Amino acid sequence: MVLMMLVSSPVQAQIDRVAPPNWWIGFKDTSLQLMVKADGIKDAKVSIDNKGVYLQQVHQADSPNYLFIDLEISDEAEAGKFKIDLQLRDKDDLSFDYELKARQVSSDKFEGFSSKDAIYLITPDRFANGDLSNDVVKTMKETSLDRNDDYARHGGDIQGIIDHLDYIREMGFTAIWSSPLLENDMPTASYHGYAITDFYKVDPRFGDLETYKKLAREANKRGIKLIMDMIANHCGSEHWWMDDLPYNDWINGQKAYEAGEDIPITSHRRTTNQDPYASNYDKQKMSEGWFVDSMPDLNQENPMMAKYTIQNSIWWIETLQLGGIRQDTYPYPDKQFMAEWCKAIMNEYPNFNIVGEEWSYNPLLVGYWQHDEDRSGYRSYLPTTMDFPMQQNIVDGLMQEEGWDTGLIRIYEGLANDFHYYDPKSIMIFADNHDMDRIHTWLEKDVQKTKMAMGLILTLPRIPQVYYGTEILMDNSENRGDHGLIRSDLPGGWPDDEIDAFKQEGLADKQVEFQNFMKSLLNYRKTSDALDYGKTLHFAPFEGTYSLFRYEEDEIVAVLLNKNDETKTIETRRYQELELVGSQLRNIITGEMMSWKEKITIKPGITLLTTKLSDEK
């Protein structure tokens, strides 16, 4: 009898993850914390050998499979790779190479979006399919592709955006805000991107990191800034760390999650952030509850989570040379952390910009988050917030019957609230977005009213944002509130589309006319000092009309709204402080000339006039 012994060779241990995957020299903040994940490394001794890079501290996590390593990147550090060694008890030692890169530009060279920009908001899965080969990735949890299903993936990707950058530029947009493009490996509705499962990885159905970098480069060549949609509040329930959380308090509600019990869901009572009488119970329920049960709430009070999130944002700013960040669900995370996050970014990039989503129709709440210190001593460091109150005022102003406190007075008095804002022209105004009914739906598919709304959006003292498809009057009237329908495909983005919005092929006459209206006004904005930083003057509505003026030195832009069905004749003595009588003004849309006399006539709808007789600066 032959005895055979089977000897199994030991499996070589390996590093699973290192985050951030690389870093840079030359930052103002010289600290760096690495999250390292590998089996059984909790007790490892860490050593490095690199001139200018110093080991400060090693933090053991609650899980045996993580280490958090604090480094100091001194002025002596040079770009290049260096080795980090992990000495383990009873196991083979581990090591990995880590790279420090030279920065492309210094921090003060980063220019964030501002009131001189017009932002184009894109839902990438629904914009254009530029790479058919990545439509389905079989290793992902959702592999269906069905353009007839509003909640399935449709195949739009980063290459689709790249392919239409010239269209975006020619329309007059100077910045792109895309909803998240990072990995969203969720079993259903993964197209929208807001349940991220890896904060350092591009979703392969959108492309890869190199394609994302190409988008940033190609946009920059065309004078278009790239704004990244980020989420500090939550991740997706399929995030890779959910199977092995580093700390016992890495996410809020962690005990319930690990025990399979009911998950605490947020109350959505965002006023607890400002309410001087709010109970601790209500504050906690708001900030520590999960947004929905598929989006675990991240605990930024854990200092490792806080550092991870800040570094992740800076990593993407540097990697893509971003022109801004849009922070999703801004009031939901711990507000002290959000101030630290904003401060860290704005200290490093003083000319950068961040816009936070505060979905409230109360200007007191929106203004609370913008920048300045409040009475309680809280300072957010956030430059920009989203103007949901004014969006609602515009819709109400155009849809309500004219009355003492209804109709156009809503717009007039809404703008009067600007005294509350630290910097009104740094507030982001919009007619709609990916989470609400489209503006053409709000306005019951009235083209004239939609022109009035968009004319206001693009001329108010604000940073304007336009949702893709608005330029061709896309709507979701057949099913209001349906997010999948709100995020419908832009026609022309797929090879077999019979209608092509990019080339104005197959569009209805009203769509072409509206697209040209938007293009004319957007391109005028590019050279308008008055619409960038000019002063604002408006006049109380009367007889169904409202007038607003933006002016700077020799340029005046007149925005004249007429809600009536007939032409109105107006005596211009009410506008005498502008000293316009006898001036020649050009219609921004049609190019027609008009003489400003003691009486002028305004057609129904919106009239946009300028004293600047040439587009040349």
Kindly list the catalytic residues.
328, 357
User: Are 145 and 136 within 8 A, CB to CB?
Assistant: yes
Identify the sign of the CA torsion 140, 143, 147, 148.
negative
What's the half-sphere exposure (Cβ side, CA atoms, 13 Å) at 570? 26
Token digits of residue 310: 């800040």
Q: Would you call the peptide bond into 20 cis, given omega within 30 degrees of 0 as the criterion? A: yes
Rounded Cα distance between 496 and 499, Å, is: 9
Q: Is 600 left (phi over 0), alpha (psi -120 to 50) or beta?
A: beta
128 Cβ contact partners less than 8 Å away, ≥ 6 residues apart: 156, 157, 160, 161, 163, 164, 490, 492, 493, 494
Q: Which residues pair with 228 in a beta bridge?
A: 178, 325
The 3-state DSSP class for residue 502 equals coil
Sign of the Cα pseudo-torsion (449, 454, 521, 514, in order): negative
In angstroms, the Cα distances linking 2 to 8, 383, 494, 586 are 19, 78, 67, 101
Give CA–CA dist 40/386, Å, rounded. Answer: 45
> To 5 degrees, how large is the angle CA 241–CA 247–CA 248?
110
Task: Give residue 586's Cα distance to chain centre.
Answer: 35
Sign of the dihedral through C-alpha 209, 210, 212, 213? positive
Q: At what angle do helices 388-399 and 409-416 cross, to 10 degrees?
A: 160
Q: How far is residue 370's CA from residue 386's CA, in Å, rounded to a whole number?
A: 10
- Answer whether 203's CB lies under 8 Å from 183's CB: yes
Burial class of residue 14 in the structure, from the number of CB atoms within 10 Å of its CB (0-12 exposed, 13-18 middle, 19+ buried): exposed
Q: Is residue 568 within 8 Å of 596, Cβ to Cβ?
A: no
What tokens were used for 243? 């199977």
Query: What CA–CA distance (Å, rounded) separates 243 from 239?
Result: 8
- With a CB cutoff of 8 Å and minimum separation 6, the contacts of 509 are none
Neighbours of 591 (CB within 10 A): 8
**Cα–Cα distance for residue pair 313/514, rounded to 1 Å:** 37
The Cα–Cα gap between 139 and 318 comes to 29
CA angle 89, 93, 99 (to 5 degrees): 135
Q: C-alpha angle with apex 477: 471 to 481, nearest 5 degrees?
A: 100
